[in-house]
Amino acid sequence: MISERLMKALNDQVNYEFYSSYSYLAMAAYAEAEDLNGFANFFRVQAQEELFHAMKFYDYINQMDGRVILQQIDKPQIEFDSVLHLFEAGYEHEKTVTQRIYNLTDIATEEREHATISLLKWFIDEQVEEESSFKSIITKLKRSESNPAALYMLDDELATRTFTPPVDAQA
């Protein structure tokens, strides 16, 4: 049986994942307003991934005979100075998510809740990928700062991104 402390932390994470999705939709809206539809697509796909993550936690809580408690979603940041700033904000957000997953893992480890540890290992691996993706795009954006053609090439590249739920992840 999952402790009340761990169940509350898992519920908090469900809500944070929904907030993450909402934040990435706000970032997509910014990019679309700047006529950068490939960048917008990147963030739309990111929003879909975050919804998938939220539902993965949601389903786990229910499997463990818990109850999901949804909370109000805060208003996300909607203004950015540039596309670079947009991705830097996304990267900082992902680092926060990573820390939250680590904190959950610490609680589950302290409580010897092995099923939850197994679930969280998937998320730890996912966060490595998420942070790496943002870092790579930030590097490309910094290199293209004085070359608008490179910015549009990256925009075209990101337009091809799609969301496919991972095969190894039980929703």
At residue 165, the pLDDT reads 83
CA distance 29 to 33: 6
Is residue 69, in this structure, part of any structural domain at all? yes
**pLDDT, average across residues 104-119:** 97
At residue 33, the pLDDT reads 97
CA distance 16 to 107: 17
What mean pLDDT is reported for the chain? 95
At residue 27, the pLDDT reads 98
Q: What Cα–Cα distance (Å) separates residue 43 from each residue in 2, 11, 114, 158? A: 34, 24, 33, 9
Is residue 97, in this structure, part of any structural domain at all? yes
The CATH number for 55's domain is: 1.20.1260.10
**pLDDT, average across residues 124-132:** 96
Higher pLDDT, 171 or 34: 34
At residue 171, the pLDDT reads 45
**pLDDT, average across residues 96-116:** 98
Is residue 169's pLDDT more than 80?
no
Q: How many CB atoms lie within 10 A of CB 151?
A: 19
Task: Find out whether 14 and 57 touch, Cβ atoms under 8 Å.
Answer: yes
CA distance 130 to 133: 5
**pLDDT, average across residues 123-147:** 95
Question: Residue 64 has which token pair?
Answer: 């463990």
Number of domains observed in the structure of the chain: 1
Torsion of CA 119, 124, 126, 131, to 10 degrees: 160
CA distance 61 to 51: 15
CA distance 3 to 23: 30
The pLDDT-based confidence of 1 (bands split at 50, 70, 90) is confident
Is residue 169, in this structure, part of any structural domain at all? no
CA distance 51 to 112: 28
**pLDDT, average across residues 72-86:** 96
Is residue 44, in this structure, part of any structural domain at all? yes
What is the span of the domain harbouring residue 134? Answer: 4-158
- DSSP annotation of 72: P
For residue 25, which of 76, 97, 87 has the smallest C-alpha distance?
76
The length of the chain in residues reads 171
